């Protein structure tokens, strides 16, 4: 029976693993191989050049700018997004006032209208990231955008930033859009996790006179830690991947985005520019290999630092 069971498991997993190896693992291997060549991406002819692409990458100022911006994203985006999502989810599920009537006295509840707020927070997830980027590109327009128009309406005519045209502000404008577009997903995710925590824990804390802050750090966060850790890794991958690429390319100025003066360039966008704009596919795959290493290091560090004893309830 045991032999038959293992044979069934192997047969069941063989096709999915083969597809995963073909469409995920094999492209990684190809990218690493092409990073040691001079392939242009247009011609089938290429030669091995050894570590020349890696040497060039280490001397490329734009690459270091893109790496710096990607690291800012991967450090700050998960921190800000998950912190806001935890706060909103806690208020929507646990942060309401105590009921005044005797029947529900001491009951755990969210703020009034919490169901409506969940829909509002989740709404950006319904929109494509390209649509979100276009909407905010119009909002950031220094001449006719909604933000500067609102500043004028409240009498702040002298405060009219260029936003995406300012090298000192553009990166933070892009980051704000990424936070706005993703925080709702984690609000719903954390709300589902908080709904599974027994109310007895919160009721006991209320009887002991615990404040909301104490309840959050002593009950909610420890019991929700596995979900937070997974969300941190997922958000970091988004910050290093397609989300940051799409927003930066659509919103920012310059050839194929990344401006002004490479002030918003990120690694995925730089890979795209080198491969499809400049016809340097081999060098683009070299930057892609560096991006892969950064992503794996980030995931490993988060999983290692976030390791703690599992709490069951």
The domain that holds 115 is classified in CATH as 1.10.3720.10
Q: Share the mean pLDDT of the chain.
A: 85
Domain-embedded: residue 45: no
Residue 14 included in any domain: no
Instruction: Give pLDDT tens digits for 114-127.
Output: 778 888 888 888 88
- Give me the number of domains the chain comprises: 1
**Do the Cβ atoms of 190 and 224 come closer than 8 Å?**
yes
Residue 200 lies in a domain: yes
CA distances from 128 to 122, 131, 174, 188 (A): 13, 5, 16, 18
253: exposed, middle or buried (C-beta count within 10 Å: 0-12, 13-18, 19+)? middle
**Dist CA 67 CA 70 (whole Å):** 5
Please, how many CA atoms are within 13 Å of residue 279, restricted to the half-sphere of its CB? 5
Mean pLDDT of the region 140-160: 87
Note the pTM of the prediction, 2 decimals.
0.86
Give domain status of residue 43, yes or no: no
| Residue 181 · residue 120 · CB < 8 Å | no
Degrees (nearest 5) of the Cα angle 118, 124, 127? 135
Residue with tokens 């909604």: 146
Q: 273 in a domain, yes or no?
A: yes
φ/ψ region of 50 (left if φ > 0, alpha if ψ in -120 to 50, else beta) reads left
Q: Flag whether 47 is in a domain.
A: no
- Structural domain harbouring 175: 52-305
* Reported confidence tier of residue 46, pLDDT bands at 50, 70, 90: confident
How far apart CA 59 and CA 290 sit, in angstroms, is: 14
pLDDT tens, position by position, 185-217: 999 899 888 888 887 887 788 777 777 888 888
- d(CA 178, CA 87) in angstroms, rounded, equals 18
Q: Considering all CA atoms of the chain, what is the largest pairwise distance in Å, rounded to the nearest integer?
A: 81
| Tens of pLDDT, residues 246-274 | 999 999 887 778 888 899 999 999 999 99
Residue 310's pLDDT band (cuts 50, 70, 90): low
- Residue 262, Cβ density class (10 Å: 0-12 exposed, 13-18 middle, ≥19 buried): middle
pLDDT-derived band at 133 (thresholds 50, 70, 90) equals very high
Model pLDDT, residue 99: 47
Q: Look at the block and give the residue holding tokens 């300012």.
A: 166
Query: Is residue 173 situated within a structural domain?
Result: yes
Please name the residue that has the structure tokens 């794996």.
Answer: 296
DSSP secondary structure string, 65-120?
Answer: HHHHHHHHHHHHHHHHHHHHHHHHHHHHHT-SPPPSSSTTTT-----TTHHHHHHH
C-alpha to C-alpha distance for 262 and 255, rounded to whole angstroms: 10
Is residue 219 assigned to a domain? yes
CA distances from residue 21 to 18, 28, 42, 249, 292 in whole angstroms, order as listed: 5, 10, 26, 30, 17
Of 251, 261, 69, nearest in space to 163 by CA? 251
């Amino acid at each position: 029976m045991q032999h038959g069971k293992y044979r069934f498991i192997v047969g069941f997993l063989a096709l999915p693993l083969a597809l995963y190896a073909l469409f995920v693992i094999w492209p990684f291997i190809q990218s690493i191989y092409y990073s040691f060549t001079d392939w242009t991406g247009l011609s089938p002819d290429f030669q091995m050049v050894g570590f020349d692409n890696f040497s060039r990458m280490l001397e490329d100022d734009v690459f270091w700018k893109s790496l710096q911006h990607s690291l800012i994203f991967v450090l700050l985006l998960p921190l800000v997004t998950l912190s806001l999502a935890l706060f909103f989810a806690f208020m929507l599920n646990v942060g309401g006032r105590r009921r005044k009537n005797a029947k529900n006295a001491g009951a755990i509840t969210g703020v009034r209208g919490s169901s409506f707020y969940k829909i509002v927070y989740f709404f950006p997830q319904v929109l494509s990231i390209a649509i979100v980027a276009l909407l905010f590109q119009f909002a950031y327009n220094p001449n006719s955008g909604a933000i500067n128009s609102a500043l004028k309406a409240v009498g702040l005519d002298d405060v009219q930033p260029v936003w995406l045209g300012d090298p000192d502000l553009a990166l933070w404008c892009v980051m704000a859009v990424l936070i706005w577009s993703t925080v709702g997903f984690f609000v719903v995710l954390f709300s589902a996790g908080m709904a599974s925590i027994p109310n007895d824990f919160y009721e006991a804390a209320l009887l002991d006179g615990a404040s909301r802050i104490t309840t959050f750090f002593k009950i909610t966060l420890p019991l929700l830690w596995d979900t937070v850790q997974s969300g941190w890794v997922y958000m970091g991958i988004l910050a290093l991947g397609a989300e940051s690429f799409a927003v930066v390319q659509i919103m920012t100025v310059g050839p194929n985005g990344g401006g002004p003066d490479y002030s918003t360039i990120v690694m995925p966008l730089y890979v795209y520019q080198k491969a499809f704009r400049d016809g340097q596919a081999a060098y683009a795959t070299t930057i892609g290999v560096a991006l892969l290493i950064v992503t794996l290091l980030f995931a490993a560090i988060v999983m290692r630092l976030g390791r703690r004893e599992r709490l069951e309830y």
